[in-house]
Amino acid sequence: MKALRLHGPGRVELHDETDPTAADGDVLVNVTAVGLCGSDRHWFTEGGIGDATLASPLVLGHEFAGVIGSGPRSGERVALDPAIPCGRCALCRSGLAHLCLEMRFAGHGATDGALRTSLAWPGALAHRLPDDLPDDQAPLLEPLGVALHAIDLGHVGPGTTAGVFGCGPVGLLLVQALRAAGASVVLATDPLPHRRTAALAQGAEEALPGGDVEQLVTERTDGLGLDVGFEAAGHDDAVDDAIAATCPGGRVVLVGIPDGDRTSFSASAARRKGLTLLLSRRMQGSDLPRAIDLARAGRVDLAALVTHRYPLEEAGEAFAALADRRGLKVVVEP
């Protein structure tokens, strides 16, 4: 098989490697599409993410879909959950498997991801795709699951007023998922014009570069502020905007992963409002099936987010597009 490995910041190389073999409970998957994520950008530009650093050449990619090539499900098109919890610890048993301390996650640490032509993965984590969902859109189901988990943390329901601060793919999927949940997306922010344009197309009522958001939110919410703000940029400016725009007693959900593994904000503004700050990690096990159901029902537009497609042999250019934040979602098709 072919596999793309990260050898250091800015350095990916294509290798010929031994075909995978399936352990008990695994299926062999021929990978059809892999979405490149903001976390992949951290790995590519920094050689790590948070407190995890590159210890040996790593196959990135955790937003992926493929076709099962072994066993009774052979030929089935699937989206795959990239998280493999231990299933035994107290966190797993209590319904918090996404926080499992023994978690193996595709494209992270010592667990190779999906930027290869084939892989073995637990069959229980392979979810059947709708027949009418194209391969290149399927990788967006994982970040949609991330958005759904964040929305759950924000206690969103019909009539909720919300803002999205940072409109990369996860932020744009938040806009769509919020609308599908019956919320009003009063404001979206991003410094990049093409992302603001996309946010408006996805259903945000207003899109701004960021900064000085309080006046608009005050006008749109009768002086109260937003019920919940979702920070999806990984930048302190976006955190500040979310805090400024959210009402007293409201919630701010931090979804973005910051450069340098540090987030800071003005404590007085958050304290004065008595805000609840929540940190969102990945998605829970039920969120990928929920994302598939939303796509099957036509309640989200995944096609609008796919702007760049590359074969595995051109993955270097795909990562350059990701690093430069060109377009919206970059997809590699092994």
What average pLDDT does this structure show over 48-57? 88
C-alpha to C-alpha distance for 115 and 102, rounded to whole angstroms:
23
pLDDT-based confidence at residue 223 (cuts at 50, 70, 90): confident
Q: Which pLDDT value is given to residue 141?
A: 98
Task: Flag whether 294 is in a domain.
Answer: no
What average pLDDT does this structure show over 222-249? 95
Mean pLDDT of the chain: 95
Residues 274, 149: one domain? Answer: yes
Q: Which pLDDT value is given to residue 325?
A: 93
Q: Which pLDDT value is given to residue 160?
A: 97
pLDDT of 52 higher than 90: no
C-alpha to C-alpha distance for 167 and 271, rounded to whole angstroms:
26
pLDDT-based confidence at residue 51 (cuts at 50, 70, 90): confident
Q: Which of 4-18, 257-271, 306-320 has the lowest mean pLDDT?
A: 257-271
Residues 48, 93: one domain? Answer: yes
Say which amino acid occupies 159.
Answer: G
Residues 166, 252: one domain? Answer: yes
pLDDT-based confidence at residue 166 (cuts at 50, 70, 90): very high
- CATH number of 224's domain: 3.40.50.720
Q: Which pLDDT value is given to residue 68?
A: 98
Strand 306-311 vs strand 11-16: parallel, antiparallel, or unpaired?
unpaired
pLDDT of 215 higher than 90: no
pLDDT digits (tens, 9 = 90+) for 144-162: 999 999 999 999 999 999 9
**Residue linked to tokens 């400024």:** 244
Residues 94, 152: one domain? Answer: no
pLDDT of 53 higher than 90: no
Residues 111, 150: one domain? Answer: no
pLDDT of 177 higher than 90: yes
Neighbouring-strand partners of residue 184: 161
Residues 148, 127: one domain? Answer: no
Residues 186, 266: one domain? Answer: yes
Q: Which pLDDT value is given to residue 285?
A: 86
Task: Flag whether 307 is in a domain.
Answer: yes
Which of left, alpha, beta for 142 (phi over 0: left; psi -120 to 50: alpha)? alpha
Supply the pTM of this predicted model: 0.94
Q: Which pLDDT value is given to residue 85?
A: 96
Task: Flag whether 224 is in a domain.
Answer: yes
Residues 127, 157: one domain? Answer: no
- CATH number of 8's domain: 3.90.180.10
Host domain of residue 168: 144-279
User: Under a CB-based contact definition with an 8 Å cutoff, are residues 95 and 57 in contact?
Assistant: no
Q: Which pLDDT value is given to residue 222?
A: 85
Task: Flag whether 236 is in a domain.
Answer: yes
Residues 153, 186: one domain? Answer: yes
Residues 76, 148: one domain? Answer: no
pLDDT of 27 higher than 90: yes
Q: What total number of domains does the chain contain? A: 2
